[in-house]
Amino acid sequence: METELIKDEVVPRILEWQISTVVKVRLETQNVKTFTLALPNWTAHRAGQHYDVRLTAPDGYQTQRSYSIGSSPEQRGEIELTVERLEEGEVSTYLHDVLILGDQVELRGPIGGYFVWEASIGGPLLLVAGGSGIVPLMAMIRHRRAVGSNVPVRLLYSSRTYEDIIYRDELEMLHMDRSGLEVFHTLTRARPQLWDGYKRRIDMQMLEEIAKPLGKDLKAYICGPTSLVEGVANGLVTLGIPAVQIRTERFGPTGTT
Amino acid sequence: MSGPFLSRGFIGKRSQDGPADRVPPGQYLTRDFPVLSAGPTPHTSLDRWSFEINGLVRQPVRWSWAEFRLLPSRDFTVDIHCVTKWTKLDTQWEGVSIDTLLETVEVDPNAHYVMAFCDGGYTTNIPLSEIIGGKAFVGYQYNGAPLAPEHGGPARLVVPALYFWKSAKWVRGLTLIEKDEPGFWESLGYNNHGDPWKEERYYGDRTD
């Protein structure tokens, strides 16, 4: 083997199902909502991890889906799941159309031990998101802020339109406060009249502009649709970033075959 | 609280409901072939590719791509189950049965597990008994075309009876070992065994 993937130490823990309570619902965009869930058996997650949600019908029919945690581990006792409503989705349509404040949701987690970042891992960090792929990266960004880390971070975030940018105001605020987090948006479909960000799908030139100032030691986390993840990961390898420094997670609706 | 938890107002779409004997608990059907990987897709040129069987065998063996393609192959139609909840029925592959590969080596009777190793550094552990007897193969054609790199091409291990992370992409060989040890995802919170019918998704999951 030429390379070895880095395995962080994790203490295994049996994941029990638990019943959470919806304590807040926030509309992020026209088809994305954030559900804040209070957990009776809360444990600190690692930024980037997810929970499994399980729905049960009166006749015993069950279905499960995984959702990334958007909140930081420092937000104790509760987690925030940011969920995009998929027209064909069985669970996301239930969460969006049925679930209200005070409802209960069965879930278990946190899950996943590779697509994670915590301040001790260090940086500099390159975060690349497409659409709702921002969610696990936002947990990393919020964790970084909560612990006062000064690791340099550049976020490149691809959305369809300005209105589709999830966490837009918070990202704007974090970008403006000059804490070492720089946010770069690209809008692939429609732009506001006075848009000074990128206006195309992520390509090599864009990637080079964003990644270069971070140097070859950067750690990259990429989350989004398959085509974006594949393109960006391959692009970073082409730019000379070692594969072991690039972690990927696919997110959002399943693509075509 | 008495009785099982019910999700208020949930009936379920069930449009993706499949035959109960082919869709394991907690899974839903997809027609897509989602791509999940921990890192960038490796691109190993075929003239640098090889497949090895080593570890507890009398004589390790190594095939070049050309040699591997000359091994007797067959077609496989199998259902696959990903731990991220999707199940895909009747996937069509061409590849070489693990039985065919192991016939070429003399397996040490102390070998009870295999560790699959891959381009990119990925590993996964499987009991030897669960990849022999026609239960697993190394696939290089999918739907009649060369297996795409993002799906594990040029060749991936396919072990349909276990969650699909055990079906290692970009596989380059198998190491036969005596004692079980966790591979990549198995040391990161996922189940050591991964039987979808027992819903062995994560560390500590078991149905007995």
Preferred mutation among A16, A55, A96 to probe B, highest tally of B CBs within 10 A: A55
Predicted local confidence at residue A257, as pLDDT: 29
Sheet arrangement for strand A62-68: A62-68, A50-56, A104-111, A18-29, A32-38, A78-84
Pairing of strands B61-64, B50-55: antiparallel
Give residue B41's identity as a one-letter amino acid code.
Answer: T
If pLDDT is split at 50, 70 and 90, which confidence band does A3 have?
A: very low
Q: Name residue, tokens 């989602």.
A: B34
Q: What is the ipTM of this complex?
A: 0.90
CB count in 10 Å sphere of residue A172: 13
Q: Given a cut of 90, is residue A255 above it in pLDDT?
A: no
Question: Is residue A13 within 8 angstroms of chain B, CB to CB?
Answer: yes
Write out the two tokens for A213.
């100032």
Question: Is residue B206 within 8 angstroms of chain A, CB to CB?
Answer: no
Predicted local confidence at residue B15, as pLDDT: 60
- Where are the domains positioned within chain B? 47-198
Average the pLDDT over A80-102 and give the result.
95
Residues 131-170 of A with CB under 8 A from B: none
Q: Given a cut of 90, is residue B4 above it in pLDDT?
A: no
Give residue A166's identity as a one-letter amino acid code.
Answer: I
If pLDDT is split at 50, 70 and 90, which confidence band does A8 have?
A: low
Q: Name residue, tokens 């065919």.
A: B100
If pLDDT is split at 50, 70 and 90, which confidence band does A6 have?
A: low
| Nearest by Cα to A57 from A19, A27, A91, A89 | A91
CB count in 10 Å sphere of residue A173: 11
- CA–CA distance, A59 with A147 (Å, rounded to integer): 46
The residues, any chain, with a CB within 8 Å of residue B99's CB and separated by 6 or more, are B132, B133, B134
pTM over the 0.90 mark: yes
Give residue A62's identity as a one-letter amino acid code.
Answer: Q
If pLDDT is split at 50, 70 and 90, which confidence band does B31 have?
A: confident
Question: Is residue A20 within 8 angstroms of chain B, CB to CB?
Answer: no
CB count in 10 Å sphere of residue A156: 23
Write out the two tokens for A256.
């075509």
The helix or strand, by DSSP H or E, that contains position B65, with its residue range, turns out to be: helix B65-70
The residues, any chain, with a CB within 8 Å of residue A75's CB and separated by 6 or more, are A142, A146
**Comparison of pLDDT for B2 and B59, the residue scoring more:** B59
Question: Is residue A173 within 8 angstroms of chain B, CB to CB?
Answer: no
The three-class DSSP label of residue B57 is strand
Q: What is the 3-state secondary structure (H, E, C) of chain A?
A: CCCCCCCCCCCCCCCCCEEEEEEEEEEEECCEEEEEEECCCCCCCCCCCEEEEEEECCCCCEEEEEEEECCCCCCCCEEEEEEECCCCCCHHHHHHHCCCCCCEEEEEEEECCCCCCCHHHCCCEEEEEEHHHHHHHHHHHHHHHHCCCCCCEEEEEEECCHHHCCCHHHHHHHHHCCCCEEEEEEECCCCCCCCCCECCCCCHHHHHHHHHHHCCCCEEEEEECHHHHHHHHHHHHHCCCCHHHEEEEECCCCCCC
Q: Name residue, tokens 């809008």.
A: A187
A165 touches A29 (CB < 8 A):
yes
Question: Is residue B120 within 8 angstroms of chain A, CB to CB?
Answer: yes
Average the pLDDT over A134-160 and give the result.
97
CATH for the stretch B47-198? 3.90.420.10
What residues are paired with A129 via a beta bridge? A157, A223
Residues of chain A above pLDDT 90, percent: 87
Average the pLDDT over A218-226 and give the result.
96
Q: Given a cut of 80, is residue B168 above it in pLDDT?
A: yes
If pLDDT is split at 50, 70 and 90, which confidence band does A256 have?
A: very low
Average the pLDDT over A201-224 and give the result.
97
Contact (CB<8Å) A255/B205:
no
If pLDDT is split at 50, 70 and 90, which confidence band does A13 have?
A: confident
**Per-residue model confidence as pLDDT tens digits over B33-89:** 888 889 999 999 999 999 999 999 999 999 999 999 999 999 999 999 999 999 999
Phi and psi dihedrals of A213, rounded to 5? -60, -15
Predicted local confidence at residue A86, as pLDDT: 93
| Nearest by Cα to B196 from B71, B60, B24 | B24
Q: Given a cut of 80, is residue A141 above it in pLDDT?
A: yes
Predicted local confidence at residue B19, as pLDDT: 84
Write out the two tokens for B197.
């019918």
The residues, any chain, with a CB within 8 Å of residue B203's CB and separated by 6 or more, are A12, A13, A14, A15, B189, B190, B191, B192
Residues of A with CB below 8 A from B184's CB? 5, 7, 114
Q: Which of A215-219, A233-237, B33-37 has the lowest mean pLDDT?
A: B33-37
Preferred mutation among A19, A98, A227, A254 to probe B, highest tally of B CBs within 10 A: A254
- CA–CA distance, A109 with A15 (Å, rounded to integer): 6
Contact (CB<8Å) B84/A255:
no
Question: Which residue ranges form the domains of chain A, and what is each CATH number?
Answer: 18-111 (2.40.30.10), 119-250 (3.40.50.80)
Residues of A with CB below 8 A from B38's CB? 5, 114-115, 247-248
What residues are paired with A79 via a beta bridge? A37
**Per-residue model confidence as pLDDT tens digits over B127-162:** 999 999 999 999 999 999 999 999 999 999 999 999
Mean of the per-residue pLDDT values of chain A: 93
- CA–CA distance, A58 with A56 (Å, rounded to integer): 7
A126 touches A38 (CB < 8 A):
no
If pLDDT is split at 50, 70 and 90, which confidence band does A74 have?
A: very high
Residues of A with CB below 8 A from B39's CB? 5, 233, 243-244, 246-248
Average the pLDDT over B154-174 and give the result.
98
**Per-residue model confidence as pLDDT tens digits over B86-117:** 999 999 999 999 999 999 999 999 999 999 99
Q: Which of A9-18, A106-115, B29-38, B69-78 has the lowest mean pLDDT?
A: A9-18
Nearest neighbour of A55 by CB, restricted to B7, B33, B188: B7
